[in-house]
Amino acid sequence: MQPFRGVIGSMEDDVRTLWSAAKAAIEQAGDPDELERVRIEYLGRKGKLAALRRGLGKLPQPDRPVIGRLVNEAIADTEGAFKRKRAALTDAAAEAALEAERIDVTLPGRAPRIGTLHPLTESLHEMVDIFLRLGFAIAEGPEIENYYYSFEALNYPLHHPAMDEQMTFYVSDDVLLRSQTSPMQIRYMQEREPPVRVIVPGRCFRRDTVDATHCHTFYQLEGFMVDEGVTFADLKGTLNAFAKAMYGERISMRFRPDFFPFTEPSAEIALTCIMCEGAGCRVCSATGWLEIGGSGMIDPVVLVNVGYDPEKVSGWAFGMGIDRLAMLRYGITDIRALYGDAPVPGMATADGARSGHRSAS
199-215 in b/e burial notation, b at 16+ Cβ within 10 A? bbbbebbbebeeeeeeb
Looking at 35-43, 66-74, 277-285, 313-321, which segment touches ligand DAH (CB under 6 A)?
313-321
φ, ψ for residue 146 (rounded to 5)?
-85, 155
User: How far apart, in Å, are the Cα atoms of 64 and each of 2, 5, 16, 70?
Assistant: 23, 17, 16, 10
Q: Is 317 in the site for ligand DAH (CB under 6 A)?
A: yes
**Number of chain residues interacting with ligand DAH (CB under 6 A):** 12
What is the DSSP secondary structure assignment for residue 170, as one 8-state letter?
B
Q: By C-beta, is 278 or 294 nearer to ligand DAH?
A: 294
Q: Which of 123, 238, 263, 305 binds ligand DAH (CB under 6 A)?
A: 263
Q: Which residues, 283 to 312, sit near ligand DAH by CB under 6 A?
A: 293-296
Q: By C-beta, is 78 or 266 nearer to ligand DAH?
A: 266
Q: By C-beta, is 15 or 322 nearer to ligand DAH?
A: 322
Closest CA to 130 of 270, 265, 329, 296: 329
Report the alpha-carbon distance of residue 151 to residue 258 in Å, rounded: 18
Minimum Å gap between C-beta 103 and ligand DAH is: 59
Q: DSSP readout, 108-168?
A: PPPPP------HHHHHHHHHHHHHHHTT-EE----SEEEHIIIIITTTPPTT-GGGSTTTS
Minimum Å gap between C-beta 282 and ligand DAH is: 24
Q: By C-beta, is 263 or 314 nearer to ligand DAH?
A: 263
Q: 306 and 193 in contact (C-beta within 8 Å)?
A: no
- Tallying the residues shown for the chain, one arrives at 361
Minimum Å gap between C-beta 186 and ligand DAH is: 11
Report the alpha-carbon distance of residue 302 to residue 153 in Å, rounded: 6
Q: Is 182 in the site for ligand DAH (CB under 6 A)?
A: yes
Minimum Å gap between C-beta 337 and ligand DAH is: 22
With a CB cutoff of 8 Å and minimum separation 6, the contacts of 175 are: 144, 145, 146, 147
Q: By C-beta, is 78 or 314 nearer to ligand DAH?
A: 314
Report the alpha-carbon distance of residue 295 to residue 239 in Å, rounded: 10
Minimum Å gap between C-beta 115 and ligand DAH is: 31
Q: Is 222 in the site for ligand DAH (CB under 6 A)?
A: yes
Minimum Å gap between C-beta 171 and ligand DAH is: 19
Pairing of strands 196-205, 217-227: antiparallel
Q: Three-class SS of residue 318?
A: strand
Minimum Å gap between C-beta 154 and ligand DAH is: 8
Minimum Å gap between C-beta 320 and ligand DAH is: 8
Q: By C-beta, is 72 or 146 nearer to ligand DAH?
A: 146
Q: Is 226 in the site for ligand DAH (CB under 6 A)?
A: no
Q: Is 319 in the site for ligand DAH (CB under 6 A)?
A: yes
- Where does residue 68 rank: exposed (0-12), middle (13-18), buried (19+ CB within 10 A)? middle
Q: Which of 318, 325, 332, 344 binds ligand DAH (CB under 6 A)?
A: 318
Q: Which of 136, 260, 289, 308 binds ligand DAH (CB under 6 A)?
A: 260
Q: Is 194 in the site for ligand DAH (CB under 6 A)?
A: no
Q: Is 47 in the site for ligand DAH (CB under 6 A)?
A: no
Report the alpha-carbon distance of residue 235 to residue 262 in Å, rounded: 15
Residues at the interface with ligand DAH (CB under 6 A) = 180, 182, 222, 260, 263, 293-296, 317-319
